[in-house]
Amino acid sequence: MAEAQKYLPGVPDEEDEIEAASFDPRLEQEAERIAEALVFASAQPVSEAYIESRLPRGADVHGIMLRLKALYAARGVNLVQVADHWAFRTAADLSFVVQTDEQEVRKLSRAALEVLSIIAYHQPVTRAEIEDIRGVQTSKGTLDVLMEAGWVRFRGRRRTPGRPVTFGTTRDFLDHFGLEELRDLPGIEELKGAGLLSGRVPSNLNIPVPTGDDELAENEDPITQLDLEELGLLTPKGEEAD
Amino acid sequence: MAEAQKYLPGVPDEEDEIEAASFDPRLEQEAERIAEALVFASAQPVSEAYIESRLPRGADVHGIMLRLKALYAARGVNLVQVADHWAFRTAADLSFVVQTDEQEVRKLSRAALEVLSIIAYHQPVTRAEIEDIRGVQTSKGTLDVLMEAGWVRFRGRRRTPGRPVTFGTTRDFLDHFGLEELRDLPGIEELKGAGLLSGRVPSNLNIPVPTGDDELAENEDPITQLDLEELGLLTPKGEEAD
Amino acid sequence: MEPLWQDETAERGLHEEALVVDIAGFEGPLDLLLHLARSQRVDLSRISVLALAEQYIAFIERARSIRIELAADYLVMAAWLAYLKSRLLIPQQAKDEGPSGEEMASALAFRLKRLEAMREAATRLINRNRLGRDVFVRGAPEHIVTERKSGFDASLYDLLSAYASLRQRQAVTQVTIEKRHVWSLSDARLILARMIGDLDDWTALDHFLVRYMATPKERATAIASSFAASLEMVREGRLEIRQEEAFAPIYLRRGPNPIDAETLAEMEAARG
């Protein structure tokens, strides 16, 4: 409370005058109120750059946000950082009171959860690498589910032959799991330290990897519709076989 | 009291024995936090009776609400009373911060997404080609929306009879969708791998690798001011069309 | 914190006493190997890869002996482990190229450790305070922040899924679907009725039908349906039918109670 008091209007703050000598403390106070109002009014995290664009020129936006964060730390509503964005969220320890019946949290299959974690800890990661870690093929739709949830995205392409697409997590992922940044992933430092995120099997030998049914060997031609009809695997006329 | 105890680790038991009259200040603080979180998370103003039902027994709900109201009075967000209900609202003097955002974010329609994706993958592409791929006519409004969004531009004119205009994507398009270059758009294998294309992809489905942003294709002419005037997209004398 | 996969252990296929083999409970060979490794009840970095290989191979043998269909992946892994076993048991030759048994074993141990680490990470992740379950957003937001210049919202995922489903849909609809023609009984009856009217003499059924058959493929359905229809018409006395012997041509002619023009018109009308 004593800390909060410091930022309440009408309470002069000598410390600020020393640091931000050029910036009027009352303007600073006003900037704080604006930042607070902006973030409070939004359900989505608001970027620091956007907040800055709405503040009086010269305001130290990051300093303001950190002060607000400290101010709200002990309250029922906290100011949290999500990557370079800010959002107000109810305090986690109050979940039991706020909980309603209508809460909807996406249920993930075991496979989807595993793929999500692998993407989170190993990003940027290709599909082949995910499969190498799990030792099984990723079923169609698993990645789709994660992308539809807005937690996983195409990040870019690896600069290796074939330029495979790499996957990564989104800001919504951080927001959903209450992470400020990827470095906050539980145990990531230990895993890195143990060499478990290097992605390199410490040997020049690879044990069998799943045979991707999507990839063709070099000496293979793709199977065509015609082939399938010929083999009797598909009724003619291109009807959907299911 | 025993119930509240559960939520407040570290509060010594003996204090529980004291009757409600002298309510523990730490419990009081906890009650404040709960009330704050409840009002924050609710979509509607919350009744005092409901808040009371969620507070530790014996808490003076009205007193708490009045204290919270005073606490927030000078802040960017105020706690306001509406009949016997409570809600958070942006401080009246800051409403300009919240209201200047009048431009509402609109979701792109399915048709617009389809046209945009065709332009992205197939550029440089003419309107007739877009319609051929989609199998339906494209309304003028759809292309207008994409132009307005700043994601699609006239690229040039195809050197074929009629000299149809070709469309392409813009730098803003890449920025918005987090792509470094057009070649980062996933190919057929990756779309399949991500579950976006279902397993049985018809053999006649080819996804082109889009050609670079700035270069014109061999059979393309650059678009000139004259062309734009001719197309009615630019009023003569180079006035800005909006 | 209890790792997720341990919760499921009880439901998994492998019970040491019962020897119930249910490969479907595992997500591939590596999952099975990890499960077997856990049963050694030691730190993963101290597991005996040799013992593990033997257990895996024994498990696969058992599954095969009770004729459980095994995916190729499981068999490939079994073969690789058998190879690994031989490398571990036979001392490395000096001029031997390729990795040593120890290197192979450590590669396998690494992969198991990495998979287990990812499973534990997944458990810790999912048990965090989650938005919408433990932590809540402002229930009554007052504005939508527009930080984008365009004023339109769409994600790369939206874009790609729109494109993929469009292309797939279009590709499928471009396949021309040839309708396979089947003669219904009423089709055949009508056709016979039309033809029989002026038949005084025995005529082979095939002979009639040829002109109605667009393609040879229709032959079977045409003959089957019209033969069935002709039997019915014989019963009604509308035509007579004759066949010399099995597989010989079938001959038809007008019966004692022929179809008159009026009846035929009714039939045509009923068919539309």
pLDDT (tens digit per residue) in A216-229: 334 344 444 444 44
**What is the Cα–Cα distance from A218 to C91, expressed in whole angstroms?**
36
**Neighbors of chain C by Cβ distance (3+ pairs < 8 Å):** A, B
Check residues C120 and C197 and name the one with the higher pLDDT.
Answer: C120
Residue A228 has what pLDDT? Answer: 42
Q: Which residue has the higher pLDDT, C30 or A19?
A: C30
Q: Do A156 and B184 touch (CB under 8 A)?
A: yes
Burial group, residue C91, by CB count within 10 angstroms (0-12, 13-18, 19+): exposed
- C contacts of A241 (beta carbons < 8 Å): none
| DSSP secondary structure letter of residue C131 | B
Q: How confident is the model at residue A240 (pLDDT cuts 50, 70, 90)?
A: very low
Terminal-residue alpha carbon distance, chain A? 65
The percent helix, strand, coil of chain A (3-state, each to 5) is 45, 10, 45
C147 in contact with chain B, both atoms CB, cutoff 8 A: no
Contact C160, A154 (CB under 8 A): yes
For residue B149, what pLDDT is reported? 87
Percentage of chain C modeled with pLDDT above 70? 73
Taking the CA of residue C131 and the nearest CA in chain B, the distance in Å comes to: 12
Token duo for residue A224: 């065509």
d(CA B84, CA B62): 10
Which amino acid belongs to residue A143? Answer: L
Q: Specify the pLDDT at position B137.
A: 87
C225-263 pLDDT, tens per residue? 777 888 888 888 888 888 888 878 788 888 888 777 777
Is residue C30 within 8 A of residue A207, CB to CB? The reply is no
Q: Which among A91, A178, A207 is the nearest to C80, CB-wise?
A: A207
**Partners of chain B (3+ Cβ pairs below 8 A):** A, C
Whether residue A67 is predicted with pLDDT greater than 90 in this model: the reply is yes
Distance CA C118, CA C112 (A): 10
How many whole angstroms separate alpha carbon A197 and alpha carbon A202? 12
Q: Which two tokens stand for residue A82?
A: 């999500």
Q: Which residues of C touch B110 (CB under 8 A)?
A: 162
ipTM over 0.85: no
Q: Which residue reads 């509503």 in tokens?
A: A77
Interchain contact C215–B (C-beta under 8 A): no
SS3 at position C254 = strand
**CB proximity C31 to A under 8 Å:** yes
pLDDT band at A6 (very low <50, low <70, confident <90, very high): very low
Strands B106-107 and C152-153 turn out to be parallel
Of C171, A186, C146, give the one whose Cα is nearest residue B103. C146
pLDDT at A216: 39
Work out the mean pLDDT of chain C and round it to a whole number. 76
Question: Residue with structure tokens 């678009």?
Answer: B223
Neighbours of B101 (CB within 10 A): 18
Which pLDDT belongs to residue C214? 54
pLDDT for residue A1: 40
**Yes or no, beta carbons of C126 and A114 under 8 Å apart:** no
Tens digits of per-residue pLDDT, B107-140? 889 999 999 999 999 988 999 999 998 988 888 8
Give me the DSSP letters along A192-236: HHTTTTS---SSS--------SSSPPTT-----HHHHHHTTSS-G
Instruction: Determine how many CB atoms are found less than 10 A away from the CB of residue C153.
Output: 16
* B132: its two tokens: 């051929």
* C113 close to A219: Cβ distance less than 8 angstroms: no
Angstrom distances, CA of residue C60 to CA of A134, A228, C38, C48, C74: 20, 32, 17, 18, 8
Mutate to test the interface with B, among A3, A7, A33 (most CBs of B within 10 A): A33
Verify whether the Cβ–Cβ distance B196 to C165 is below 8 Å: yes
CA dist., res. B191 & res. A138, Å (int):
13
Among the residue ranges B30-44, C46-60, C199-213, C226-240, the one predicted with the least confidence is C199-213
Whether B116 contacts chain C with CB within 8 A: yes
C-alpha–C-alpha distance, residues B141 and A228, integer Å? 43
**Tokens found for residue A101:** 């019946």
Q: What percent of chain C has pLDDT over 90?
A: 5
Q: Is the pLDDT of residue C186 over 70?
A: yes
Q: What residues of A are in contact with residue B54 (Cβ under 8 Å)?
A: 97
Pairwise CB contact (< 8 Å): C162 & B113: yes
Q: Which of A201-210, B24-33, C170-179, C193-202 shows the lowest mean pLDDT across its residues?
A: A201-210
| Residues with Cβ within 8 Å of residue B219, at least 6 apart in sequence | B158, B159, B160
Residue B202: list chain A partners with CB under 8 A: 225, 238
pLDDT tens digits along B160-212: 888 888 999 998 898 888 888 888 888 888 888 887 887 666 666 777 877 66
Asked whether residue C155 carries a pLDDT value surpassing 80, the answer given is: yes
B117 with C138: Cβ contact below 8 A:
no
Is the per-residue pLDDT at C57 higher than 70?
Answer: yes
Given strand B46-47, what is the order of strands in its sheet?
B46-47, B85-90, B77-82
The answer, yes or no, to whether residue C113 has pLDDT greater than 70, is yes
The mean pLDDT of A189-196, rounded to a whole number, is: 87
Contact A162, A129 (CB under 8 A): no
Contact A98 B41 (CB under 8 A): yes
What kind and span of H or E run contains B157? strand B152-158
pLDDT, greater one: A215 or C111 = C111
Q: pLDDT value at position B77?
A: 92
Cβ distance C138 to B41 less than 8 Å, yes or no, reads yes
The closest CB to that of B94, out of A37, A214, A215, belongs to A37
Mean pLDDT, residues A105-116 taken together: 88
Residue the block writes with tokens 């959903």: A176
* Alpha-carbon span B8 to C265, nearest angstrom: 92
The first and second tokens of residue C20, run together, are 């119930």
**Local structure of A125: helix, strand or coil:** strand
pLDDT of residue C10: 42
Give the ranges where A8-82 is alpha helix by DSSP (H).
14-19, 25-41, 48-54, 61-72
Across A128-156, average pLDDT: 89
